[in-house]
């Protein structure tokens, strides 16, 4: 990871409740300047606004200039506009005229501020891609314990973008403290734990719908604990685990295709999954159960798998707010059910 990326993570992300879950993996005191980005308790709302969202997205016109045989040709495109940072002028995205900016302070602070009380507060917040993507995560103050000794923190993440990469999304989940992983809370239910608002001309009419939907954060704890109990009750012996790893890595397909690269990738992934299953504290305490299988694949994906075209923080956050966590965990259990 580059020096610039570490500096960005230590100045453009805020991490709360470190007395309950420890420092973030990217913590570097020497890269934080005069003010630490880590908080022992909750992150004050004013700090999020002051340190991250003091600027706004503004619209700028798109123009082009060309030198021709007859002189200079200039034009302005009336069908497109640029979204810029009001503080630096950096261009975050280019869109058609119907695109609507979802200001971070409005959609990530004001829409969730009504939930902040004695039980819920801001646990993390940040800017990614130079400010083109932002999130705020609210959490319960106390770390809870699910069956099997799984310590977790229920949360709701609000995220949006100014580069078009994600719609404004409100997503519930559970963060497992021992591994700093996000696990799905929607496996046992068809009800969506995610609410999206597109950047369209109708989006400003959705504000009340958003505020109504945010009440789901209070149901996360009970749903997650019931889910964990069911997974711990499902036994996975050594033979079933080996069959799952083979199916998950698709090593047999690679062997049938005689793909040396595919075989190598599958073997390496198998070795890592077995290491997690047998020796890693983030997984091994639950080896022999379906929860252990879920923890192994989730931990591999969050912390071991190669990340391309993004930082690991960006990829994990994107996965959490776009439903990738739900799909990852659901696919893991789908494969497990086949072996």
Residues 179 and 138 in one domain: yes
CB 249 within 8 A of CB 266: yes
Are 15 and 124 within 8 A, CB to CB?
yes
Angle formed at CA 231 by CA 217 and CA 239, multiple of 5 degrees: 150
Q: Are residues 86 and 115 in the same domain?
A: no
Same-domain pairing of 244 and 307: yes
Same domain for 190 and 114?
yes
Of the residues 216, 237, 265, which one is the last residue of a structural domain?
216
Residue 223 placed within a domain: no
Last residue of a domain, one of 216, 246, 263: 216
Cα dihedral sign for 323, 198, 215, 23? Answer: positive
Write down the number of H helices and E strands in the chain: 13, 11
Q: What is the pLDDT of residue 31?
A: 84
Q: Is residue 38 part of a domain?
A: yes
| 181 and 242 inside one domain | no
257 and 145 in a common domain: no
Give CA–CA dist 53/199, Å, rounded. 19
* In a shared domain, residues 49 and 69: no
Residue 46 is predicted with a pLDDT of 95
| Cβ atoms of 83 and 95 closer than 8 Å | yes
Please tell me whether residues 46 and 12 are part of one structural domain. Answer: yes
Do the Cβ atoms of 52 and 127 come closer than 8 Å?
yes
Q: How far apart are CA 160 and CA 110, in angstroms?
A: 14
Q: Are residues 115 and 92 in the same domain?
A: no
Residue among 267, 271, 263, 326 at smallest CA distance from 296: 271
Q: What distance, in Å, lies between the first and last C-alpha atoms of the chain?
A: 38
Q: Which helix (H) or strand (E) holds 158?
A: strand 150-161
Task: Let me know if residue 125 belongs to a domain.
Answer: yes
Q: Among the three residues 151, 186, 216, which one is the final residue of a domain in this structure?
A: 216
Run means of pLDDT, 10 residues per run, the chain, 339 residues: 63 89 78 89 94 96 92 92 96 92 91 71 90 88 88 85 87 76 64 57 50 58 87 97 96 89 93 96 95 95 82 73 79 95
Same domain, yes or no: 324 and 291: yes
Q: How many domains is the chain built from?
A: 3
Q: Residue 221 domain-assigned?
A: no
Q: Is pTM, for the whole model, over 0.75?
A: yes
Q: Is residue 222 part of a domain?
A: no
Asked if residue 27 is part of any domain, the answer here is yes
CA 217 from chain centre, in angstroms, equals 16
pLDDT at residue 196 in the model:
61
Start-end of H helices in the chain: 3-11, 18-21, 45-51, 104, 111-113, 207-213, 220-233, 238-249, 251-256, 260-279, 290-299, 312-321, 324-337
Q: Do 140 and 206 reside in the same domain of the chain?
A: yes
The reply to whether 24 and 151 lie within a common domain is yes
Q: Residue 331: what pLDDT?
A: 93
Q: Residue 2: its pLDDT value, please?
A: 37
- Segments forming the whole domain that contains residue 188: 3-53+101-216
Tell whether 69 is covered by a domain. Answer: yes
Nearest by Cα to 231 from 279, 295, 168, 280: 295
């Amino acid at each position: 990871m580059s020096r610039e990326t570490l500096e960005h993570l230590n100045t453009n992300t805020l991490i709360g409740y470190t007395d309950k879950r420890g420092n973030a993996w990217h913590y570097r005191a020497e890269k934080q300047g005069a003010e630490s980005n880590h908080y022992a308790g909750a992150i004050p709302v004013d700090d999020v606004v002051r340190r991250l969202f003091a600027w706004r997205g503004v619209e700028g016109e798109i123009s082009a200039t060309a030198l021709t045989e007859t002189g200079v040709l200039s034009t302005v495109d009336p069908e497109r506009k640029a979204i810029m940072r009001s503080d630096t002028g950096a261009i975050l995205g280019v869109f058609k005229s119907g695109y609507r900016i979802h200001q971070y302070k409005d959609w990530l602070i004001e829409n969730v501020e009504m939930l902040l009380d004695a039980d819920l507060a801001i646990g993390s917040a940040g800017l990614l891609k130079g400010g083109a993507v932002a999130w705020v995560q609210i959490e319960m103050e106390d770390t809870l314990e699910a069956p099997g000794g799984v310590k977790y923190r229920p949360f709701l993440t609000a995220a949006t973008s100014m580069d078009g990469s994600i719609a404004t999304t409100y997503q519930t989940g559970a963060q497992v403290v021992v591994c700093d992983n996000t696990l799905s809370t929607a496996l046992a239910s068809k009800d969506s734990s995610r609410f999206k608002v597109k950047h369209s001309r109708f989006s400003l009419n959705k504000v009340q719908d958003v505020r109504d939907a945010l009440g789901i954060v209070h149901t996360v704890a009970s749903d997650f604990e019931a889910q964990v109990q069911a997974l711990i009750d499902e036994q996975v012996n050594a033979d079933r685990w080996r069959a799952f790893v083979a199916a998950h890595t698709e090593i047999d397909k690679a062997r049938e295709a005689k793909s040396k690269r595919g075989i190598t990738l599958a073997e390496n992934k198998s070795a890592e999954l077995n290491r997690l299953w047998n020796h890693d504290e983030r997984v091994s305490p639950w080896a022999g159960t379906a929860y252990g299988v879920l923890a192994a694949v989730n931990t591999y994906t969050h912390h071991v798998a190669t990340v391309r075209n993004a930082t690991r923080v960006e990829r994990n956050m994107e996965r959490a707010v776009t439903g990738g966590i739900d799909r990852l965990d659901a696919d893991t259990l789908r494969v497990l059910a086949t072996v």
